[in-house]
Amino acid sequence: MIQFIYNKNIIIYTFAVLCGLGIIVRFILDLVHIYLVRESDNLGLTKNKLLKHMKMRFETCYRLNIGVNNVDTFVDKSLTKYKFCGILLSTWENFSGQVLLLSFLIIPISAIFGVVFEIERERILYTGAVGVLTGAALILADKMTNLSVKKQRIRLNLLDYLENFCKVRLEHEVSQPEKLEQFRKEYLSAIEAKSRMEKSEPKNKEAKNRRKEIRKQKEEAKRLQALKRQEEQKRIEEARKEEELRRLEEKKQLAAKRREEELRRLQEEREALKIRREELRKKAEEKQRQNELKKLEKEEKEKMLLRMEEELQAKKDIERKQISESMEEAAAEIEDSCDETDMTPEEERLIEDVLREFFA
């Protein structure tokens, strides 16, 4: 059953019906309150049965010397009896509130049953979102109609009329009927004087027409003078605008010249920077070339020194070999000579010293 309700979107349709019903009820209440506000603004000439009956009851109480001690309570009690289509306004308002409450009550109930009967999560969330939107729409309609302000205005209009006009008039009727009769006679005489003036109007039409013609001529002259002043102001304004345009053109030309000079100066500075950069680059290249030449010369010198050292070392090695060979030959000769001739120890010592000094 719950699956069928969710599949057929019955809950969503229920929300839609509740939303439409709540908005219609609020719209009806708003129209009724607007009508009551309009009628209560002119309570003396109202055609509303409730307001006429309330006014008659109030006047009857004063004419019977009973009076009304609490006008607020009298007004509130009379307003609570107002009916639309045979239903009290309070019932209409309660019905609108119950529709809103019902729409919010269906949301958790449908969610609980959906979880219990394992309905799809997306469908439950979708239904709940529709319910929330329905409640939001009803709340928005309630705030837009603003019935509380309209009720307050109706109540103030009724209190103002009953306390400040009707009550004062009725008290004067009861306490001072002669003054009331005098006021009526004055009012009737004013109406008769007005009617006589209306009858005597054809006689004074020519004079009125002449005065109108004179007034029109004066107005025409004033209008022409105003047109002339406007034309003069326009010419002055146009001249001022032309002067401003000329000044703007001059300023633009000066600005253009300054820009050209700035561009020329910047171009010259850019060219000078390029030239200087080229010079610096050339100097750097020349310096780098000189450094490379110095490095090559240094390497050549180092190579020459190495060759010279190698040659000296080779020469030293050759000399050493020759010395060692000569020493060996001399030693061999000495040994041979020693073998041939026996030498004294002193002579051997002397020969060793001579050889040592020679080889040193």
Q: Quote the percentage of the chain above a pLDDT of 90.
A: 7
Q: Name the band, by pLDDT with cuts 50, 70 and 90, for residue 301.
A: confident
Residue 3 has pLDDT above 70, yes or no: no
Q: Name the band, by pLDDT with cuts 50, 70 and 90, for residue 219.
A: confident
Q: Name the band, by pLDDT with cuts 50, 70 and 90, for residue 347.
A: low
Per-residue pLDDT tens digits for 272-298: 999 999 999 999 889 888 888 888 888
Query: CA 49 to CA 84: how far, in whole Å?
Result: 12
Query: CA 71 to CA 75: how far, in whole Å?
Result: 6
Q: Secondary structure of the chain: what % helix, strand, coil (to 5)?
A: 90, 0, 10
Give the mean pLDDT of 352-358.
Answer: 70
Residue 174 has pLDDT above 80, yes or no: no
Query: CA 287 to CA 129: how far, in whole Å?
Result: 82
Q: Name the band, by pLDDT with cuts 50, 70 and 90, for residue 339.
A: low
Query: CA 178 to CA 228: how far, in whole Å?
Result: 63
- What per-residue confidence (pLDDT) applies to 124? 74
Tokens standing for residue 253: 């030309």
Q: How many CA atoms lie within 13 A of 329 on its CB side?
A: 6
Residue 176 has pLDDT above 70, yes or no: no
Contact 114, 2 (CB under 8 A): yes
Q: Quote the percentage of the chain above a pLDDT of 70.
A: 76
Q: Name the band, by pLDDT with cuts 50, 70 and 90, for residue 136.
A: confident
Q: How far is CA 312 from the centre of its chain?
A: 93
Contact 68, 74 (CB under 8 A): yes
Give the mean pLDDT of 152-170.
Answer: 75
Per-residue pLDDT tens digits for 306-336: 888 888 888 877 877 876 676 677 666 656 6
- What per-residue confidence (pLDDT) applies to 163? 75
Query: CA 57 to CA 54: how far, in whole Å?
Result: 5
Provide the 8-state DSSP code for 69.
S
Judged by average pLDDT, the poorest of 41-55, 56-70, 216-230, 253-267 is: 56-70
Sole residue written with tokens 């009125």 = 208
Give the mean pLDDT of 50-67.
Answer: 74
Provide the 8-state DSSP code for 233.
H
Claim: this prediction has a pTM higher than 0.85? no
Kindly give, in sequence order, each residue whose CB lies less than 8 Å from that of residue 63, ignoring residues fewer than 6 positions away.
Answer: 170, 173, 174
Contact 78, 50 (CB under 8 A): yes
Residue 88 CB neighbours (<10 A): 13
- What per-residue confidence (pLDDT) applies to 338? 54
Query: CA 199 to CA 102: how far, in whole Å?
Result: 69
Give the mean pLDDT of 233-249.
Answer: 90
Query: CA 209 to CA 344: how far, in whole Å?
Result: 185
For residue 146, the SS3 value is coil
Query: CA 110 to CA 129: how far, in whole Å?
Result: 12
Query: CA 131 to CA 12: how far, in whole Å?
Result: 7
Provide the 8-state DSSP code for 88.
E
Query: CA 79 to CA 88: how far, in whole Å?
Result: 10
For residue 140, the SS3 value is helix
Judged by average pLDDT, the poorest of 90-99, 270-279, 303-312 is: 90-99
- Give the start-to-end residue ranges of the domains of the chain: 2-193, 302-359
